[in-house]
Structure 1
């Protein structure tokens, strides 16, 4: 009879974390329609405008996680995430950061920069979900904040799907506007390496490992609920 109190080894624990990908929002009906070319320009713009608030909150979330890190080595790795989004060095081209890349996506779908950055199109459900994520990162142990970022394990595929399907279904969107998706594929893989290492080494008892799975599910639910809110705000 299996002992349900024993910790999983690293391989089994990682497999269980990755198995959570079945609940990733790549499977949400709105995302399926978006990548199948079934969304109107208004729905595409609504999605871009609302997901921008998530981009807006990510570096704030990452700063909150880092503020709880006592170890300089981890901070040096984690700060790269903030720079990826906010920009670094001369803030030009690839150094401009993810928020600028998303702004270019907004402009490519027909949203003026000032309108996007005003956040006036953000619906309450999306704002609530993103704010909840920032609040979690501020108050949780830093290892739990790192664990919550492991949805990055599933992100490369959703970006690859957009790069393949959007030019076909939405030829009215300038190709350069999709640079955010291109940039995130290698960056997500890099971030996962660090996040997995922290998670596998910190959550070492069965109870702690279950806690990690619950945290990852919380983040997956949060991303799913954002699409629920967007879908309701922009019906077919």
Structure 2
């Protein structure tokens, strides 16, 4: 990339990255969507994904702390409210815990982080370091995976309700909220990136930031696929073991 892209061209490049690398393309997601995972494999996904979910407000707080414009902070802080809520039992984190409860996972186990795969923690920490250490523009650009989340949410929810009798619409309430929150957030972030990536170097950084974030999400599913589908014999000894896996042992 040697020439400055127009805002429309930059958006097209960003969307091309998501089309190719977003984790809706991952085998684990496709197995989940198509009803080919066991209840225990769904539990393992929800338990590990919680580490990412509860780190989203930490990520957004780290980004917001670097914003000198109060107007920008006022817009960005809504993301924290969306996940933390305005009170106990509200927000996206609480709704994710409602999902893990509905799947039969012990809440203390979920909250403790015990049982999650090491790669889950490493991926989430890498993302937190990225948004804290890179430029504000790169940090905001890394959030642009939200451009692609409504489609994966629609496919995931419809597939899970169709194929799994242990999953209810109420248990999946987290995703209903994200269908309106994610487009609002991604529209703002995309506009910000298109206006502020005003050099070839900055545009390269923006594209690399989205590429990195897709890798963060993909790597979490890589770990789940290896540990719970491809070869459970190599699973981390302290990782969550589903009841159906114990019964089969």
TM-score > 0.5, shorter chain as reference: yes
Give the match for residue 6 of structure 1: 3
Shift of 1:183: 0.8
Shift of 1:91: 4.5
What is the rounded CA distance, in whole Å, between the counterparts of 1:141 and 1:70 in structure 2? 13
Match 1:65 to one of 60, 63, 66: 63
Residues 68 and 141, structure 1, Cα contact 8 Å, conserved in 2: no
Structure 2 unaligned regions, length at least 5:
231-249
Report the aligned-residue RMSD.
1.2
Give the match for residue 55 of structure 1: 53
Give the match for residue 35 of structure 1: 33
Structure 1 unaligned regions, length at least 5:
none
Residues 50 and 126, structure 1, Cα contact 8 Å, conserved in 2: yes
What is the rounded CA distance, in whole Å, between the counterparts of 1:111 and 1:176 in structure 2? 16
Residues 137 and 206, structure 2, Cα contact 8 Å, conserved in 1: no
Give the match for residue 136 of structure 1: 130
Aligned length: 229
Give TM-score, length-normalised by structure 1.
0.94
Report runs of 4+ in structure 1 exceeding 6 Å deviation: none
Q: Is 2:173 the counterpart of 1:160? A: no
Give TM-score, length-normalised by structure 2.
0.89
Q: Is 2:215 the counterpart of 1:221? A: yes
Residues 14 and 200, structure 1, Cα contact 8 Å, conserved in 2: yes
Q: Deviations over 1:169-218 (max 9, x none)?
A: 11112321100111101100000111011111111112211111111000
Give the match for residue 96 of structure 2: 102
